[in-house]
Structures are given as C-alpha cells and as structure tokens.
Amino acid sequence: MSARVKTYIVPLLLASALSACSMAPHYQRPAAPVPTSWPAGDAYLIQSEAAVPAISYRDIFRDSRLQALVEQALVNNRDLRVAAANLAAARAQVRITRAAQFPTIGVNATGSRSEGGTGTNTATGVTTQSVSRTSWALSGGVTAFELDLFGRLANATAADRQRALSTEAAARTVRLGLVADLANAWGTYAADAELLRIAQDTAISARRTVELTSARLKGGIAPRTDVRQAETVLATAEADVAAQKTALARDVNLIQLLVGGPVDPALLPARLGEVMQSVSALPAGLSSEILLRRPDVLEAEYTLRAANAQIGVARAEMFPRITLTGLFGLASNSLRLLFASDGFTKSVSGGISQAIFSAGGVKAGVKLSEAQRDAALATYEKAIQTAFREVSDALARQGTIADELRASTARVTATQDTAKLTEARYRGGVASSLDNLDAQRSYYSAQQQEIGTRLAAVTNRVELYRTLGGDQATTTGN
C-alpha cells in the first residue's frame, strides 16, 4: 500500500478507535435479595458452615461406572449439542456486530483497450486514423463508515457479548442438569432393581403360604378365606414384580436418552447400597453469595448486563449519525507504470443523518430498553431467590434424612423378625392366618419404604450438587 493511501486510511481507523463514548448507564451488580447465611434450626442441623472446595462431578460421583456414563453423555447428549450450537451462534453474532465498528475497505481493478483504425468522412472525403489506447485503473475505498461518537455500535457489541456469555452460562446449566439427571436415573435403576428382588422374594414367600394354607384347607383346619387372603398377597407381589420389570426397562431407556446412545449393562448398579457409598455429600457454602456463581444465576445476570448496554444503543439513536466515505485510486495507460505514475486520485466525503420527526419512536425506544432492563433485573433477583429456596430445601432434607433412614432400617428389622416369628407360630397352629399375612405385608411394606428413603438420601446429595452449582461452584462471575 502506498504512503498516500495510508495517509487516508489510518485516520479512519483512528477515528473508529477513539470516537466512541458510551451512553449506557453504569452497571453495578444488584445486592442479592436473600439472607447472607443459610437457614438454621432443627431441620437443618447446621453446626458450622464450610467453604465449598474446588470440585468436579468426579469428586461427588465416585463410582467409575457412573463416571463412564457421564463422559459418554457429555459427548453424545443432544441437548448439550443444541446448547453448543447456540453458543457458537451467539459468539458469531458478537463478531458480526463488532465488525460494524470498523471501516469496510474494498479494492477494484479494471483494464480496457480500444483498438485504432482508419475512417473516411463521407462529407469532406478526409481520411483519419485513430490510435490504439490501453488504460489501467486500481481503486479502493471506505464506504459509509460510521463514526461511533455516541457509542451506538460499541454498546450493541457489548450487549451481544453479554448475551453470548448468558448463552454460555445456559450451556453450563444444561451440562449441570444432565450430570444430575443421569446420577438420579442411575440411582433410581438401583432402587428399582432392589424393589424387583424384594417383590420376587415376597412372591416366593407368599406362594409357600398359599401352598401351606391350601393344605390346611384340605385337611379341614383352615377356612377358604385364609386361602383367598394368602392368594391376595401373592397376586400383589406378582403384580409388583411385573411393574418393577417395566420400571427397570424405563430406567434403561431414560439413561440411554441422557447418555445419547446404547448403555453397557455392566455400567448399571446392582444395589442401592453401592450407589449410596459412591455419592458424596456436598457441604453448604460459607454464605449464600455462592449462589451468584450458579450458572442459571450467571445467565440471568449476563442478560441484565445486556439489557443495560442496550439502553446505550437506544440513547445513541437520539443523536445524529456521522458517516465518512473515502475513495482512492490509481490510473495509468501502462500496467508497468501503474504504481509509479502520478495518477493517484482521491476523494473524501462525509454525511450526517438525523431524524427530524419520528412521532416519539426514538424516545419510546429508550423507554422500551429501560423497561426491558427492569424486567431483567427482576428476573435476576428471582433467580437468586429461587436458588436460595432450592438450596435451603435440600439442606433441610439433608438435616433429617439420616434420622428417617435409621427409623426405616429399624422398622425393617422389627417387621422381619415379626414375620419370621409369626410364620413359625402359624405353622405351629398358634397364630392365625390373618396374623401371618399381616406380618408378611408389614415386612414387605417396610422394605419398600426403606428403599424409598435410601433413594431419597441419594437424590438429596445429587440435589445439593445441582442447587449449589456443581462443577460451577467455584466459577467466578464478572
């Protein structure tokens, strides 16, 4: 590029870099509309609060089988692919918007030749001869480059950049939810597998009772009602067996959906106890300010920042737009002498555009942006309040689940012993058939309740992982 061309291009680039002043309001993060500490009381059992360490899902979900499923899901899950595509589109939009802050320079090269020849004027009879001519031209220029004196373009870029960050936070929310949903589905499969075994064991026991009661009926020492009651228990257990087989199939279908492909049966848990041992409890944070680092809260804050920047765009529309157009070129009759000739041409022009009458549309645009900012602020505060409530609920459950689990285990032990003793008494002719069947039903119900409580304990740990932000618990929001 010649020195004379640079003479006109460089000032345009400097004008682009130095012209903007922002009309956007100064952003200041709103105060969190929640208490600075978690709730305390009998349900929470908080002795002291501990800072959340730097963690990943591997620190919470320590079973290698579940980790393998998570890794597969992070690659193949379609929701994550949609989130990644949305993020790529948002980042591309930032580049598109930012490009308007810089001049667009184009170059055009042309060449032409006219052949000479002879001709005779019919009126005068004079013969003339024209000379062959060749011309070359190289031209370029800046077309309608806007001087961003009032920050319209800069704030538009800032707004799109904040939207892209919001989209990125939304993608992390999808990732966090995927890991938590997969952990819950994995635990639910183990619970349903245990419920199936319990139903099968109960059916076997109930079948023995039916056989014994039928024999007693034939011997004339038991009424037919005892047989029917025993058959009722058997039918209930057999129906539960069928239902649990369906539940297991659905669990596998859900896991495959989350993982995004077929699942190796060897990666599925056999018992709920091994799931409980492999899922660690996540402590609460030092203060509720940790919620500001949850990806969904960050998403809401970035949306608020974007709305704040959009006010600057709307305000700048109230001021005139100044545009520059610069054209420069070279012309010569010889291609060899094109860059060495004195055929440099140039022209620079500018323009100012300002709406004289818009029926209040420009001012209404500012009001619209301010209203959208206020809505984004309320959404951000609601996101924090919702997050606080979710964590508080999970902490309340964590504070009581251990006592409930101990009670459920004690109930299973008691009902199991009662069922054994009652069956022995029934076989000895001391206890009635009804007592025996009631003992079997109580034991079956106690086992089912214990499985439900143990699954609730696992789910509670997963919920704390989710509500405290999981892998993003140590991500700093700007």
Based on the number of CB atoms within 10 Å of its own CB, is 39 exposed (0-12), middle (13-18) or buried (19 or more)? middle
H helical segments located in 267-360? 272-278, 295-316
**Residues 254, 435: Cα–Cα separation, whole Å:** 41
pLDDT band at 333 (very low <50, low <70, confident <90, very high): low
- Enumerate the β-bridge partners of residue 322: 147, 352
Q: What are phi and psi of 171, to 5 degrees?
A: -65, -35
Q: Which residue has the tokens 């004196």?
A: 149
Per-residue pLDDT at 339 exceeds 60 = no
End-to-end Cα, the chain, rounded Å: 42
Segment 422-426 mean pLDDT: 88
Q: Provide the token pair at 412.
A: 């299973």
pLDDT for residue 96: 86
The alpha carbon dihedral of 424, 428, 432, 433 has a sign of: positive
Segment 123-150 mean pLDDT: 64
12 residue type, one letter: L
Q: Provide the token pair at 308.
A: 């704040």
Higher-confidence position of 154 and 282:
154
Q: Provide the token pair at 75.
A: 């690659």
pLDDT for residue 293: 81
pLDDT band at 404 (very low <50, low <70, confident <90, very high): very high
| Average pLDDT score over the chain | 79
Q: Which residues, 6 or more positions from 29, have their beta carbon under 8 angstroms from its beta carbon? A: 301
pLDDT band at 48 (very low <50, low <70, confident <90, very high): very low
Segment 370-381 mean pLDDT: 88
Higher-confidence position of 353 and 156:
156
pLDDT band at 350 (very low <50, low <70, confident <90, very high): low
Cα torsion through 161, 164, 165, 166, rounded to 10: 120
pLDDT for residue 18: 44
Beta-sheet pairing, 127-130 with 133-147 = unpaired
Per-residue pLDDT at 44 exceeds 90 = no
Of 2-16, 258-272, 381-395, the range with the highest mean pLDDT is 258-272
Higher-confidence position of 421 and 137:
421
pLDDT for residue 81: 93
**Residues 285, 472: Cα–Cα separation, whole Å:** 13
pLDDT for residue 109: 64
Segment 103-113 mean pLDDT: 68
**Residues 46, 27: Cα–Cα separation, whole Å:** 36
Higher-confidence position of 135 and 29:
29
Helices and strands counted in the chain (H then E): 10, 6
The CATH number given to 28-102+151-321+362-474 is: 1.20.1600.10
pLDDT for residue 50: 43
Contact, 68 vs 259, CB < 8 A? no
Q: What is the pLDDT of residues 51-106, one digit of tens each?
A: 455 568 898 899 999 999 999 999 999 999 999 999 999 999 888 888 877 777 76
pLDDT band at 290 (very low <50, low <70, confident <90, very high): confident
Of 369, 376, 368, 364, nearest to 311 by C-alpha is 369
> What number of CA atoms fall less than 13 Å from residue 401's CA on the CB side?
20
pLDDT for residue 460: 92
Higher-confidence position of 89 and 344:
89
Least confident interval from 81-95, 123-137, 206-220: 123-137
pLDDT band at 315 (very low <50, low <70, confident <90, very high): confident
pLDDT for residue 326: 58
The alpha carbon dihedral of 393, 473, 271, 246 has a sign of: positive
pLDDT for residue 427: 82
Least confident interval from 53-67, 225-239, 265-279, 451-465: 53-67
**Residues 191, 173: Cα–Cα separation, whole Å:** 27
Q: Is 29 left (phi over 0), alpha (psi -120 to 50) or beta?
A: beta
